[in-house]
Structure 1
Amino acid sequence: MWTRLRHAVDVPILVSHAVPDGPWAEWITHELRAAGYAVDVHIARTDFVERLLAALSGSDPVLVLLSAEHPGVAADWQRITDAGGDLVPLCLDASTPALTCRSLHGLDEEEVLELLLGLLDRPRRHPIG
């Protein structure tokens, strides 16, 4: 069902993250929602590649939060990048992922938010309230 909804109007940006990176995902989700974006969160487990491939088949961005804790390996990232789509990989720590990404490591909250909103510079719905 999620795949069918992915192509509907006002479908959320997907934020995918490893379990230990939950606080980052929660903060990013909160800030994006406050900025007027619809956001869905996905915890990267054994099925994360299939979930990201489905998400990338739509037109909405897919944020992937990467750290040393992420379960992805080079072959996973190759499949994901080969699929095309609007993939936005973000590095949370100083680890070297198998995927080229923008680093959030060492940035303060304002700098992270500015980077995120710059990467997602596209029309969005207005915040509720």
Structure 2
Amino acid sequence: MPVLVSHSPADEPWAHWITVCLRAAGHEVHLDPADSTFAARLAEGRFSSTGPVLVLLSGEHRATPADWALLASASTLVGRLVALRLDACETPQALRAVPCRSLHGLGEEDTLEVVLAVAGGIRREKVRPAGLPTASRW
């Protein structure tokens, strides 16, 4: 089950770090940079996977309240959508019923633990490959 990571362009470094960590743990990961049609793409189920959909939230995300409402009500995302807050931004009203975890202020190990937990855990032994960037860089 691939993990889909949706993120704003400004949060590309976080998306990359999460992708590297999840792939090192044995997950297949697809990135979906958020643009004006991201909510419709996710809601329509254009990604055929039944795996988790991680939406990275930050003060830089430019989604509208209508985008968040569409995601929260999409039957294709029920039980799969998880919001990860990267900074002190508020969780959008429409997503308050969706599981949401905050990465804001966590150390690297705790951040990795949260990311792995929401993605379904470790799929293979080696989690941290040599040269893995640290979360503290962002």
TM-score w.r.t. structure 1 length?
A: 0.80
Q: 1:43 aligns with which of 29, 33, 46?
A: 33
Deviations 1:15-65 (A, max 9, x none): 010011000000000000000000010110111112211257741110100
In structure 2, distance between residues paired with 1:113 and 1:37: 14
| Map 1:70-85 → 2, pairs under 5 A | 70-84=61-75, 85=77
State the 1:74 CA deviation.
1.9
% identical aligned pairs: 49
- CA–CA separation in structure 2 for the residues paired with 1:56 and 1:78: 19
| Structure 1 pair 57–77 and aligned structure 2 pair: CA distance change class (3 A) | farther
> 1:6 matched to which residue of 2?
none
| Residue 88 (structure 1) aligns with | 82
Gaps of 5+ in 1: 1-9
- Label 1:73 to 1:33 Cα distance change in 2 as closer, same or farther (>3 A): same
Gaps of 5+ in 2: 127-138
Aligned positions, number: 118
**Is the partner of 1:49 in helix, strand or coil?**
helix
Q: Aligned Cα RMSD in Å?
A: 2.3
1:52 to 35, 42, 47: 42
1:26 and 2:16 matched: yes
TM-score (normalizing by structure 2) = 0.76
1:109 counterpart = 2:98:
no
> What one-letter code is carried by the residue in structure 1 that aligns with 2:87?
D
Runs of 4+ in structure 1 deviating by more than 6 angstroms, as ranges, are none
Partner of 2:129: none
Cα distance between partner residues in 2 of 1:122 and 1:95: 26
